[in-house]
Every structure is written in structure tokens, then in C-alpha cells.
Structure 1
Amino acid sequence: MRSYTIHSPRALLWTITLSAIMVAITATPTGRAAPSILSCRDEICNDTHTLFNCRDRGFVCCKGEANDSYQVLTQRHGLTCCVGAGEQYNVVSQICVNGRVRTKDRNEDNCGPDNVYNKLNQVCCGNNVFTKIEGGQCCGNEYLVDNTKACCNGRKYNTYEQVCCPSRRKDPVHGTFMLHDIPYGRCCLDKAFNPKTHSCEESKRGMLRVMDRASRDMENCAGVRYDPRTHGCCRGESTGVFERRTALCHVGRLYMKTDAQQNAICIYSIEDHTGQQAIQAIPYTKNSKTACSRNIGVLSLGPFEAICGENIYNTTTDLCCAGKLHRNTKLRGFKCCQGTNIFDPQNEICCVNEVSPKRARNIEERCCFKKPYVPETHDCVGNEVIEKACPSYGNSCNVSIETLTAMKKVYIYFGVAGEISATRQSRKKKSREWTLSDMKMLKFKRGKVTVVKSKVKGKQRHILKSTECGCPENLIAGARYMFVSSTPMKRRTLSLDNVNKGFVVPTEDKEQIGQVFATVIEKSR
């Protein structure tokens, strides 16, 4: 065996250190071996020596595809076990369905280990999927949609038979809320009560408490209960209960009655001995025979008298408009104009206290804020009066049986409307022309109807002529219409104006077309 000589202390130290490292690597310890996890079940891990909770040491026990197959996996943030797959998945981007991991669709999520639901139109309660209904709520594995049912810490109850109130102490069985068997009950903080026999009132110390009701009409005034039919609560500098028979409360102050019939306080000012204005307040009986004047006090009124500001007036002859007196105006038919002004309804119009003369008695007028306008010729846009492009005054384009019957002759055409081809301006009126195509004329004779197609040659066209804002004003290009006129088409031109009365009816309006046919056929017999 070879021998080595140590020549220096530094070499000796290095030799000892190296030997210690080798012993630590090769030696077998005397305690238990390092844990080697072999199996798990129901979150309990087994390393052949001890049983422990897997999650306490950073592991996950994940059930595999087989019934008794479990995988021990390292816990990772954002991942969870897919039951039946034996692997973890990302809960943000993936989903686990029946033991299979796949990419999650938009608005999709897991509902228990076996179900998937759409968060837009479905709801997950426990492990069950339900169609979402407005006002519905989960209660354990159930979905409540009946307004007579509610949930209290995961327990369903009937709101007509029980009430759920917060619990002052966290109950290990019922949680932070508790159910009480009180029909139609209510909560006063953590106390349940029957509102028919009890009430939740504020005590003198400002605390809420349940108090007995001697009557359903009893009320509370700073902790003192009273009957509002005989007593009142005067809330002011010194809030308290008073007897209505002997006192009145006004702006937080009590005034003693001199007569049990007194029901109001008259506030008025008078000049005292120093020449200063002093405010007085006295109880009085407010009725049709008395009034309160701010400068005089209580006044006695005669028949048909009332007070307007500081003046007494006759209610049969005078008008009081917002405190302004107008004498002898009621007799002449005047009325108040939403303020201090008056107006004559026969000849004037009132718009927010602004009076304007009417244009004519037989024309309807309305208000556009403070401005009057005629709705047949103008519109109210915001607070501005705008003239209509085509006023409807004196113009009617709907089918009228009376007009049809009055016509000596009736001419009916069908055609397709085109674009406006021309606009002509004369001294008195403005007219427009439309092109017409596929024109057909109906002839009625002895109750029979004949269809005649109107032909054109070369570049010739049929023309519909009308005054501005006439019946054809709103024709839609490309649509088919029935044209009814009292005069026939001349030189391929059909006129519909104020002289040649007529109608324009869309072919989709079967009801009006039927009325025209029935009337014209009857006239032709």
C-alpha cells in the first residue's frame, strides 16, 4: 500500500474536506429514507411510510381514466385537475368535459366535472346547468325563478312562510344568515319580527330594536310611541310628541291652540313700537271663510270672497293668477295664462304665460314653448317653429268614397313610378313631372272590368303631372301604384292636381284598392 506525505497545513486541510464530501455522498443515513411518493386517493398521498394531505406538500391527486387510477401531480398556479383525464389543464384557455381536455370556446365554462354551459344564456348552480331567466338565483344545485322562493345560505325557503335575517354570530351550520319561521316576516338587523304585531323602531339611543305594536297605526317619535290619529311628532330643536287637540306644530315649533277647530298657523309681519317689522305666528281655523294675509294676519271672508296676495277679491267676477289680481275679468270669459297673465280663449292663445292673438277661429293652433303655431303648416322642433316643406292643410290623398261617388267619370290606371323628370315654376304655382312605365288602363262597363295596355312609340314616355306637395309627392321610384283621376290621360300625360281630384294608392294597399273597385263597378252598372 502506497503512503503519501503531507507537506503543508493547507494540503492537509484540503484532504480532510474532500474526504468529508465523499463520506456524505456515499454513506447511508441512519434515519428514514427520503420520501418517495407512490400513490394517492381523494387528496391523501402515500409514500409507503406515511399518509398526508397532498396539497399541504404542493401536490395534486388527480383521478385518471380508470376507476381506481389516480395520478400524483405537482401543483402549478393557474392549473387544476381534469377529473377522468389524470392531468391538469389551464382554466383560462382550456376546459374539461367528461375526462377530456380541449380548447375553451368564447363565453364557455365548466359546471362541475361533467357539464359545460354558456355564460350568456345559461347559469351553473352547483353541478347543474339551467337556462338563464331574469330574476332567477342559484340555491345550491337548484335554480329559483318563483318569486315566492328565495335562498338563505344555500337553503331554499318559502318567503310567505319564513324570513332570512343576518346572524350576529357566524353559525357553523347556517352560516352568516338564519331562517326564522315567521310568515311574511321582516328583519330588524339580526332580529326577525312579524310586522302585524311588532315593528322595528329607533330607540332614544339611536339603536334599532323590535317593539310591540299596540295598534297597526302606532308610530315612533324619538323612541316614544304614539297614535297619529290623536297625537303628532314635532321634530325640531326639542323633538317630542304633542296632542293634536291642544297644539299645532309649524317648522319645528309648537303653538298652543285657543280653539280646538284651529288647523293652521298664520305667519305675518307687523310694525312694533320701535318701528321695526316683527314676525308673528298665530293658530287659526283655515277654511273658506278665513284667510291669512302676510301684512294683516287672519282675515274673515264673506260669501264668494278669497284672498289674492294681500287683496280680498270676488271669486265670481275676478281672477287671481299666481298672486296677481285681475278684477272684473272672469265675467268677460278671461282665464289665467299659466302664470300672472290672463287671456281670452275665444280670440287668444296662451303659451307659458305669453298671450298671442289667434289667426282664425276655425284653425287649430298649438304651443311650441312660448310660440303659437298651426300644426297643419308648421312643426315644432325643440322650441323653434319650422315651416313644413309640404303642409297637409286642405290636402287629402287617401281614398274617399264620397269623392269617388261625386265624380262624374272615374279613370283608373296602373303603372310603375320613375324619377322626377321636370320641375316647372309659374307665377301662381310650382309643378312636378314623373316618368311612368308599364301603364295599363282599366275600363268599367256594365259591371265588367277590362284591362287595356297603353303603348308608346320610340322615345315617347308616359308622364304624371302634379302640383307641388300634391298626392304624388312621396312616390317611390320603381314602385307600382294605382292612379285614380276624374280626367283621362291626354297625350300620354296624366294630371293629378287640385282641379283634377284623384288618389294615388300603392298596389300593396289591397283594402283601399278594393274600396275603389267596388265603388266604380257599382257606378258602371
Structure 2
Amino acid sequence: MYAEPPYICVGSINMYRPVVLLSFFLLSVTSACQYNSQIKCELTNGTVVFLDSSSFCCDGQVLLKYLDGKQQCCCQDSIATEKQEVYDPEQHICCNGRKFPRQNTLGQQQACCESKVFVLTRSNLCCVPQPYEDHPTAVLYNSYVGENDTCCGNVKYDKNTKICCTDTSYNYTLYDNDPNKICCGRKYIPHATHVCKMNQKTGQATSMLKFISSCGNTDIDNRKDLCCNGHPHLNVVPISSYSCCGNGTYNINIHSCCNNAHAIPKNMECCGSNPNGYNSRTHRCCNGVSLEISRDSDQCCGGGIIDLETQNCCNGQTYDKSTFKICRDSNNRCSAARITDECCGWEALDHTSVCCKAGTNYDYQYFQTQKERSSQNKCCASYSKSSTEAKPYSDQTEECQRGLKPNVTKKLNQLRCGSTYYDQNTDLCCFNILYINATLHGQMCCQHNVFNPATQSCCKDNRVYNSTSCPRFCKSRQYSPVSQICCGGHVHANLPGRKCCGKQTFDPREQRCCGSKAVNKPKKCRKPNHPICKWLCEQDEKKIRRNIRTGKIDICKTNGYVARIGQKNNIRQVTRIQLEGGGFRLYNHNQNPFKVKKLFHHTCVCDKEPREEVRRKIVVITDKSIRDIKVELTDSDYILPYTNKVRKTLMKHWKERCATPTSLVTADVVDEIFDFIKVKLDKQRIARFYE
């Protein structure tokens, strides 16, 4: 029955967005009456009558707002000087004092555009500025009205190509639509470089550059100005070197800020309001005053300096250490006592009293209780910190039974297990755990447990097993040495004549164990006939890791190369360290780049029991570059076996110890050989290499 928003629109204010449409019922076109606020009515005969809430005045008559269930309204203009008419809002509309039928002769709905009436169709558009009472300039458009047309004040525009910006005074401006701009009051600003803010004084939206901000009553440029607690500082250049300290600025490169109040030279420390600070090596700050010292042991005591080697300080007072001692508690309360006195908390102990400690080891308080006998030298206090109930006693003849109410009893000639007395002829105490009648049954302690040696055993892990011998483990798996054999952490059946070879077993009558592999006779094992093989076999990995941790091996070198050893058959007695690839890639030591293909199948067999192969990488730690064809490593360089534990130790201590952590270099393989290096080892096992 009522009009849709596209037909009549009223401009509304928004700081950031264009105006939007409001329904036409904001105008006097709806069925609801707008009665005036008159309380009396002058009739046509000049008589004045008073109105109640159910009546209204129209054209010199007093009428009821509702008559026979139907509403009555008065049609008048805003000034109410023209002729007034009574109308039924269901049948008529009132357009600025003129009454029109709600439907025309064709049955079409009609609406007001100020004093004009028009048919509610998409071909008509009424644009009314807001507030329309102050701007009686509504415009009715009844031709060339597009589907996307709307109003900017009383002007029609296409919202797909234009945008309407308005301020709080209902002033409107049309702009061409730009996705990179936004409305800011009547202005259309680029949002990439500007911001829109509300001016608190004028109540209007104001645009400013993004690097402009307010500081007190002043706008500042954030690129070169600073705002410190509402105080602007202009042209602070270079601004990256300055910061605020209280209401002022300071150069962060040469000064530091004290308590957000004032700046001092950077090599100084804060001391009260002293603008120059103080040097902690030559001065002490005592109660906000910088005082010069003559010894490192000089410290503040109140407002002065004392020598802590010969003096003590308590509550700002100085005491000579040869005469007085200082008693303190956990709350740093203190008092001075003679050197021969004992302390009880923060007070000196009276020789007629004993010192009591009520509470637990973590929450307690000290107090004194008067002795009843001179032989009493201890205090039996409560577990409750707030309790002062305590009993003095002599630890030679008595003992304390602590509780909420402490009790002192005579000492008995018995042993105690924890806080319980026991008879060692019948009972057994294992780490303060009492086992009744355990001794009678022939049991013994196994750490906190008990066991019977006749049927059980107590093993190294302090566990009790129901057998007379302790079990054997192969890594974490239990096995029987009678029927099984453990080889390199793997359990096998203990067949007659078979022995371990690495993780497997072999028959010595038909096979040989070469390193960790069994080969059929008459094949022979290759020997560690190269110095690098012999050296690798002699290395103690635990000792190497310990030397890395203690710094005996200086790992802070420029380069760390991961390489494999190999042998070229047509070159005699030449061991090569071949870098695995041509294009070097640097990896940070805290990453995991160590996935290198097994390229060299030359194996160093270590001649020890159990025999094992050394087919592993090595780490060359040096300040030299092994990219060069000729390389000479000296006594200051290191070659270490490359194992998982050595790698972890290197990575950890590179990160903690070295200013610039060394990186490990690995690469993919190419066919050509880069380096041939002979090895010579001296007695200290330091590798010296030459071509």
C-alpha cells in the first residue's frame, strides 16, 4: 500500500559514506496524522476553548481525533496560515496544506513531493533535502529516471557512476565514483594517503594526511615531529634517533631515559633527579645522591658510604663488623646484635629464652619462648605459622613431636624410621619406610623396597626380581644369556659356535667378521691401511664431545665441511676427502640439511673387538676454503668423526659460543674429484694435511 524507497528519497548525513535513501513516510504522505501541540482553539466566532488529549483544532473547529473508529486529521501547511481542511488519512493525503485523493482515478497510489502530488511509479523520483523543513526545495523528477538513480539533496544522480558526500550541516556535493576514495564530510579523499577524523570543536569531519596527527592543540608530521605527553616537538631530525622522555626528547644513541623523567648520558646510570646520572664503577647512588667510592666493596648505607668488608648496615645505620652482627629475616627486617649473641629471626636471642620457628620450611616465623630450665636449648613449635604455642626442651634428654599442638616427650633408647620408633631386631627401615617384621622374615633393603635374597634379587636399577640372578637386557629388551645372545642391540638365538658380528651372528668356522659384516671364507677383511682409517678407528667419541664442550677443541672457525673418505685405486697411499658436489650450499647449523647420499663404498675396518666398519662422514673445521684444488690443513684445523651425537654437540655449542656460528657445507655429487689430501697424524692426534 505504501511507497518503496526509490520513489521518494531524503538525504542523510554520514561522515565516511555517501547519503542513503529514507522511506517516503518521512514526508506527510502516510496514514498517520501529525497533530500540533495546541492546548486551546479559537473558534470561528472568536471563542477560545481548551483542548484535551482526544481532540484537536482545525479550521476554527474542535474535532475528535477518532470519530466512529476512524481517524480524523487536519491538512495545513507548516505556517498554518492558509485554509485548513479535515481529511480521512485512509482516503486522502495532505501535501503542504493541500488535500489530494490517496488514489487517482486510475486506482494508482499517489504521494507528496512537498506541495506536489505524483503517482508512485519507477518513472517518478522526488528528491527532498534534509531537513526538508529548512529547505523547501524538493524537486520532482518524472522523466529519465533510471533504476539506479537516487538523490543527493534535491539532485538526481546515478549511484553507479556518482557518489554523494554531505556534512553535518546537510550540504551536499556530487563526485565521480572512485574506488580509491572515500567521503569525508563534503570532501572526497583518497584513502591511501588520507584519513578522516571528526573535529571535536566544530563537529565536522576533517580530512588530513595519514602521517599527520594531533598533539595537544597542534597538528604534527609523524615523519619528523614527536609528541611527548601532549607536548609537540617539531623538526626532530633524524626522527629514528630520538624518542620521548617525559615531556621532552632525547637522542637514543647517546642518552638513556631515567624513570620517564629526564635523559642522561648512555654510559651512566639513573640516580634520582641527577641530570648527569652516575658511573657505577666510581660512584654509588645513595638516596638519590651520587657519592664517590674508593673501593669496590663500598656500598650505600642510608645517605652515606660504608666498606662492607669491615662494616655492616641496618636501617641506615653503620655498625663495625668486629663488634656487631646484623640479624635479618625473610622480610629484610633487621637489627644489630653483639658479635657474641645469636640471632632469632631479625632480633638478638635473649640468653634466658630459646628461639622458636613456627610453620614449615617455606612459610614460617621466628619468636622467642622463655626457658623453664637452664638445660633447655631447643624449642618445640607448631606447624602453624600463626601459632605462638611452643615448649622449650633439651635435645639431650627430650625430643619434640611437632603438630598443631607441639608436645615434648622423654627420649627412648630406640631407633627411629622417619618419625616412628622401631625395633631393628624385628623390623626393617629402608629410606625412612618402615617394614614391620621384615628382619624376622630374612628380608633386606633394595632402595625403598625389600626383597628376600633366598628367592629374589635386587638389581642395579633398584628393582626387585623374582629370581636369584638379575635379568640381562639387550637395549630395552630383556633376554636370557643361556639361550639367547645380544648383538648390537638385537637378540638372536644362542646357537652353538655362533658369535656376534655387528647386529648379526656368524659361524667362525665358515665365516669371518669384517667390521659389522660376515663374509665367507677364504675372503679376507680389508685392513685400515690408510692413516685416516686408522685415525677414525682410534677416536673416542665421548672424549671428542667432552673436548668440544670444554673448549679444548676450538670450533669457532669460518668453515665446517661435511665430507666422506674414499680411495682412488690407481693412486698409491692417497686418501682423499671429497666434498660431495660442485655447487656449494650454505646451511645454518640449526637446520637439518644432512641428508647426503652414500657415495663412497670404501670401508675402514677397525681392528678391535667387536670389529666394526667405519663407513661414515667426517667434519673438517677450518678457516680455509676447500674449494681450492690445493689444500693444506695445519695444527689449528680439526677433522672429527661425523656422528649424530657429534653433530648435535657442534650445533649446540656453535650457537652458544661462537659470535658468528659456523655453517656446515654439503652438496650433491659430480663425477670429477676435487681434492686429494694426504694425512699425517702426530702424537697429539691433531691432523696435519698437505697435498
Q: Which has the higher strand share?
A: 1
Normalising by structure 1, report the TM-score. Answer: 0.37
Quick one: higher RCO (CA 8 Å, sep 6+), 1 or 2? 2
**Rg larger in 1 or in 2?**
2
